[in-house]
Structure 1
Amino acid sequence: MTDKTFTIQGRTGPWELVMGLEIHAQVASRAKLFSGAAVGFGAGPNEQVSLVDAGFPGMLPVLNKFCVEQAVRTGLGLNAQINRRSQFDRKNYFYPDLPTGYQISQLFYPIVGEGVVEVEAEDGSFFNVGIERLHLEQDAGKLIHDLSPTESYVDLNRAGTALMEIVSRPDIRSPDEAVAYVKKIRTILIYLGTCDGDMEKGNLRADVNVSVCRPGQYEKFKDTGDFSHLGTRCEIKNVNSFRFINQAINYEARRQIEILEDGGTVDQETRLYDPTAGETRSMRSKEEAMDYRYFPDPDLLPLELEQAWIDEIRASLPELPDEKRRRFMSQYGLSQYDAGVLISEQAKADWFEAAAKGRDAKLVSNWVTNELSARLAADGSDFADCKLPPAYVAELVELIETNVISSKIAKEVFDHVWNGEGSPAQVVEKHGLKQVTDTGAIEKAVDDIIAANPDKAAAVAEKPQAVGWFVGQVMKATGGKANPAVVNEILKAKLGL
């Protein structure tokens, strides 16, 4: 572990990072957590607000069973303990976007307890992040400040929207690990269908708790679970992109290190990340649970789940990313890296499997992760929107496998296919792109080039690698259609190699 430990060099020596993340994921549900009001992006201000959401007196919350099911499904996907008995609490604070004066959340008895997630780092190694809890809570509304220089407006469309807050243990030790962890959680949620993971719309965002310590301090206390000996943590709220997560952590860590090395103390506080300035800014002092005067919500009974219902949800889980990666490696003979790239998006993994039936899986994987992915990215699309049938890539690979076309010609064929000219076989026929395998025609081209370049031909005996020049000339003379293997075989025979 020592050689992989991420450190930041300060004036007085190296420092290490210790981080825990709170991921807020909007539950994929058509209705809110405690009302029947619709949930959707893009509605006009206050068009999706019920009397419950608006905090009208006498309006009682009614728990959305589907949101509970989604939370249980997520907990199972995170290999976490499902608590058969949980409870909703009131988190009391006053803000214009919270009409009731409290948020319904779960502090003392969350619906999901401890779990663990295995995360793949950039170098292909794996690390575990402990899940401390997952609880359900309702979102607040939204304040809009830019419509008037003197007034702010309140939009309650989001008020009451169901959120899952996934709280990790402080097991994350670098900015890259933090990004990899959020990516893994996002992928799991999308596979499960419990959150769409759209960070741009705010449907998934992270609060990052950052602290710094001297090397060895984390390892010394991690097994005890007592992290009070480490540095004071600051929470960076609502970071909604992978790039911003990385940038915010780097800035905040260096800010804390500078304070400590100058003899100061880090204040425990909540901060915001300003991507334009590339810095975190103080928002407010960090509150503790006692500041919110939590108490059990008197309008909601404790939530009690039947084990049979939990087992039914467990049985309905899809194949999750870790399982799929292992299967791709065993079933298709793919490397850990190739399998990891494919399973990073569920739609990409499904697209690959549809194309790989009966074909060279490694070759299909290369086309999916390279050429096709690049085309989709250039068009601002992803695999969920891909119009190209998987059967077309399967057919393209078959044409390569059967030597109808070469790998080089295949790229030209793909260009035509992508532009809507038909299937690979139709394109090959239409443009006359079949590979030349007629040894007589290839041999004539070889003879002509050798005769025109006797000096180069003589030099090949002393420098065998120079045969590559002849291969290139033959391919050029045949319009790239000659079978490269046949060309090499004939050239070696003609040049005495």
Structure 2
Amino acid sequence: MDFETIIGLEVHVQLSTKTKIFCSCATSFGENANTNVCPTCLGLPGALPVLNKEALKKAILFGNAINAQINQDSIFARKNYFYPDLPKAYQISQFERPIVGKGSINIEVGDTNKTINITRAHLEEDAGKNIHQDNYSQVDLNRACTPLLEIVSEPDMRSSNEAIAYLKKLHSIVRFIEISDANMQEGSFRCDANVSIRPKGDSNFYTRVEIKNLNSFKFIQKAIDYEVERQIQAWEDGVYKSEIVQETRLFDTQKGTTRSMRNKEESADYRYFSDPDLLRVHIPQDLLDSCKNLPELPDEKLNRFVNELNIKKDDAKILISSLEMARFFEDMLSFGASIKNSSSWLLVELLGKLKGEVNLNNCGITSLGLATLVKRIDEGKISGKSAKEILDAMLESKNNDVDHFIKSLGLEQVNDDGAIIKVVDEVINANSDKVEEYKNGKEKLLGFFVGQVLKNLKGVNPAKVNEILKEKLK
């Protein structure tokens, strides 16, 4: 029997505000445990929450980026459940009227374009963090009350490839509109995957399983693929109804398997009700209007790179794959480097040398440094071969002074017409027979003449040699 996979994703994005969503504690990552806390985020009696306007603004920006309905009036609710890192025993979230309503994004998988619908995106507070060691556990509440935007998709994805394409597009959008650093290692961008299967041609929805707290594209794909296979195997073995139950599962990254964590609650189990400590939210029209001016989105930048800068689409996709990459490339152009060489030297030469933990952010090469290197190639001051030698020296020393390396390594090309003409004349006079052959139509001999000049004149600009030789051989 052939099966169809049904995937819906709930993505949690930590918003990059300086303070928490309902209090003035800092949201900075990596502080000593339980130092960024106060009576409000600890849920102490008498402490009252106050909504962070910046978090509200970032939610609206996201809504506009996915062409979603923005609810000018919305409500915060209490979502009741007990967990050690949730000090109030409830989470302030949204249920009936979220800030962001229905929207959509387009994804591309291979040659296929597809629209993934988004049900809602609501604001809520994050929980703390449990730290398990040996025979005891500790709770760090620094993260408690950090503003989260939970983005809930429709079950529109039919493969793990589509799920990853959707997540990468979402990750790109929140980075480009600068509402989150979306650092997956720090938990700023993580997701829960709801996975189910059904026989192909069947329109019914069957039992879905939630895989909780995934924060790596690689592991998300592996978790979904494993869960699909587990459910198909259960169906084929005739034990689907007994083994596949609505539950929350965790993905074991070491074993590559999912395991049961707890039974999955329904919305009624959370006993939602309007938070009595928070007024209904009414977004002023001027705030709504101010959020309509979005930065250039990934798809818009891709189209501009392809249609206006004439960059190959595959290269343009890499250039817009992260905000840092796109900014690096555009900075190079602003410094006067040519489009073609900027793209080539960034994507092929520089990225090709970055291995392991070394990346564009920590390699030591600045956009100005690489742009200067490209400009010296554009100007004919150095050859491409010499530029590679200089780039190696720049990476090793983390020194971006291109002209220093040109001088210290003795790599400046000879562009003196007089010196080149002198050697060209000597080569032509010494090879009169080949000159006659060239004039009689054997134009491939031009390469021979160029090679002879380069052999006799080290460090010369080949393009200049080509130009002078063609003129002389007429």
Indicate if the aligned counterparts of 2:423 and 2:457 stay in contact, CA closer than 8 A: no
User: CA-to-partner distance for each residue in 1:190-219, whole Å, 9 max, x for gaps?
Assistant: 2222111111111110101111223344xx
Secondary structure of the equivalent of 2:78?
A: strand
1:183 matched to 2:180? The reply is no
State the alpha-carbon separation in 2 of the partners of residues 268 and 381 from structure 1: 41
- 2:439 is aligned to none
Contact kept in structure 1, 2:247 and 2:264, CA below 8 Å: yes
Alpha-carbon deviations, 1:304-354, whole Å to 9, x = none? 112221111223x22221222222223312122222211222222122112
Give unmatched runs, 5+ long, in structure 1: 1-11, 222-228, 452-463
Within a 5 Å distance, the mapping from 1:83-482 to structure 2 comes to 83-121=71-109, 123=110, 125-146=112-133, 148-149=134-135, 151-217=136-202, 221=203, 229-265=204-240, 266-315=244-293, 317-357=294-334, 358-377=336-355, 380-383=358-361, 385=362, 387-418=364-395, 419=397, 423-435=401-413, 438=420, 441=423
1:28 to 3, 13, 16: 16
1:110 Cα offset (Å)? 0.7
For 1:116 and 1:447, locate their aligned partners in 2 and report how far apart those are by CA, in whole Å: 71
Amino acid in the other structure paired with 2:373: L
- TM-score, length-scaled by structure 2: 0.86
Distance, in Å, in 2 between the alignment partners of 1:249 and 1:37 is 36
Distance 2:390 2:356 in 1: 19
- How far residue 468 of structure 1 moved from its aligned partner, in angstroms, is 8.8
Q: Is the 8 A contact 1:17 1:211 kept in 2?
A: yes
Q: Would the aligned equivalents of 1:53 and 1:159 in 2 still touch at CA under 8 Å? A: yes
> Could you tell me the TM-score, scaled by structure 1's length?
0.82
CA contact (8 A) 1:355 1:393 kept: yes
State the distance in 2 between where 1:473 and 1:210 align: 67
Q: Once superposed, what is the RMSD of the aligned Cα atoms?
A: 3.3
Structure 1 residue 245: Cα displacement? 0.7
SS at match of 1:173: coil
Bigger shift: residues 199-208 or 337-346: 337-346
Distance change (3 Å), C-alpha of 1:120 and 1:386? farther
Corresponding residue number in structure 2 for 1:226: none
Question: Which residue identity lines up with residue 396 of structure 1 in the other structure?
Answer: L
- Given that 1:433 and 1:481 are in contact with CA atoms closer than 8 Å, whether structure 2 keeps it comes out as no
Contact kept? 2:450, 2:462, Cα under 8 Å? no
Aligned AA for 1:258?
A: Q
**Number of residue pairs the alignment of both structures matches:** 458
Q: 1:180 to 1:445 in 2, by over 3 A?
A: farther
Task: Give the Cα separation in 1 of the matches to 2:467 and 2:199.
Answer: 60
Deviation at 1:25, TM superposition (A): 0.7
Correspondence for 1:224: none
Tell me, in whole angstroms, the C-alpha distance in 2 between the residues paired with 1:447 and 1:209: 78
Q: Secondary structure at the match of 1:145?
A: strand
Q: CA, structure 1 residues 379+257, in 2 after alignment: closer, same or farther (shift >3 Å)?
A: closer
Residue type at the aligned position of 2:124: E
Q: Secondary structure at the match of 2:259?
A: strand
The alpha carbon displacement at 1:285 in A equals 1.8
Corresponding residue for residue 38 of structure 1: 26
CA distance in 1, matches of 2:125, 2:385: 55
Contact 1:471 1:484 in 2 (8 A): no
| SS of equivalent residue, structure 1 residue 82 | coil
Equivalent residue, structure 2, for 1:459: none
**For residues 490 and 340 of structure 1, do their structure 2 counterparts lie closer, same or farther at Cα, with a shift above 3 Å needed?**
same
Q: Which amino acid aligns with 2:138?
A: Y
The offset of 1:386, in angstroms, is 6.1
CA distance 1:278–1:477, change in 2 (3 Å): farther
- C-alpha separation between the residues in 2 aligned to 1:445 and 1:214? 77
Check 1:414–1:144 CA distance in 2 against 1; reply closer, same or farther (3 A cut).
closer
1:341-371 superposed Cα distances (whole Å, 9 cap, x missing partner): 1122222212211212444312211111222
- Aligned-residue offset at 1:442: 6.7
- AA aligned to 1:244 is F
State the Cα distance separating 1:480 from its structure 2 match.
Answer: 7.6
SS at match of 1:17: strand
